[in-house]
Amino acid sequence: AQTVTQSQPEMSVQEAETVTLSCTYDTSESDYYLFWYKQPPSRQMILVIRQEAYKQQNATENRFSVNFQKAAKSFSLKISDSQLGDAAMYFCAYRVPQTSGTYKYIFGTGTRLKVLA
Amino acid sequence: KAGVTQTPRYLIKTRGQQVTLSCSPISGHRSVSWYQQTPGQGLQFLFEYFSETQRNKGNFPGRFSGRQFSNSRSEMNVSTLELGDSALYLCASSLVGGSTYNEQFFGPGTRLTVL
């Protein structure tokens, strides 16, 4: 079964500190992408970072980086120098191609991140 | 380029009624997916449409249906509403094919409350 697990329903971090959100997934596919999405309170979901499974190098986007462990099927998100605007629900997602030519996305249940001033 | 738009943003219905939600994808995007978001359940995939055809379907009852028009706009319909259908319904569009990452771009959602 294709599943995505986010074991931390809620986390808190002090402003300017670093926090890591965990995500594990289960798949037998070899060709897939992994994503972290951010959903601020009452605002639109936006893409934070993506990782291609065939790339060994961890993706980085400014203060956001991932630790991709393919063998362990782990895809954690690290937020450095946390800011108040980082407070949001974070969703980990996994995507595989379908025979239809489109893609299937599987999302985790989310981690609510609180940033303390 | 305008983002994904969803209408209406808020909806209140009573049990037994039916509802239709609308989604307009980003211009040029031909794939539209629908998700149900509830606290503790995350995003549950409903279905995906591409070129007016349903390509993928999640594990939801037949009361949930959808369609896509030739301009890629999509509608989702829920018949015989139940209290448990109260949720945020998200639409996401993506550009299928080409050299892009084809990631999904989400709309703001429609908040459905069933009384």
Minimal Cβ distance to A102: which of B96, B107, B108: B96
In this prediction, residues A71-84 reach a mean pLDDT of 96
Three-class SS of residue B29?
coil
pLDDT: which is higher, A104 or A13: A13
Residue B40 above 80 pLDDT? no
Half-sphere exposure of B18 (CA within 13 A, CB side): 12
Three-class SS of residue B31?
strand
Q: Is B18 exposed, middle or buried (0-12, 13-18, 19+ CB in 10 A)?
A: exposed
DSSP A31-54: S-EEEEEEE-TTS--EEEEEEETT
**Distance (Å) from the alpha carbon of A13 to chain B's nearest alpha carbon:** 21
Q: Report the pLDDT value the prediction gives residue B101, as an integer from 0 to 100.
A: 63
**Distance (Å) from the alpha carbon of A111 to chain B's nearest alpha carbon:** 9
Q: Report the pLDDT value the prediction gives residue A96, as an integer from 0 to 100.
A: 82
Q: How many CB pairs below 8 Å do chains A and B form together?
A: 58
- Chain B residues within 8 A of A6 when measuring between CB atoms: 42
Q: Report the pLDDT value the prediction gives residue B83, as an integer from 0 to 100.
A: 96
Q: What are phi and psi of A84, to 5 degrees?
A: -55, -35
Residue B44 above 80 pLDDT? yes
- Chain A residues within 8 A of B106 when measuring between CB atoms: 37, 44-46
In this prediction, residues A100-116 reach a mean pLDDT of 89
- Chain B residues within 8 A of A102 when measuring between CB atoms: 31, 48, 50, 55-56, 96
Q: Report the pLDDT value the prediction gives residue A50, as an integer from 0 to 100.
A: 93
Q: Is A54 an interface residue toward B (CB < 8 Å)?
A: no
Q: Report the pLDDT value the prediction gives residue B100, as an integer from 0 to 100.
A: 56
Q: Which residues are CB-neighbours of B96 under 8 A, at least 6 positions away?
A: A101, A102, A103, B30, B31, B50, B102
Query: Tokens 């995507």 — which residue?
Result: A95
Among the listed ranges B9-23, B79-93, B100-114, which one has the minimum average pLDDT value?
A: B100-114
Closest CA to A90 of A68, A69, A115: A115
Residue B99 above 70 pLDDT? no
Q: Cβ of A103 and B102 within 8 Å?
A: yes
Residue B96 above 80 pLDDT? no
Q: Report the pLDDT value the prediction gives residue B39, as an integer from 0 to 100.
A: 83
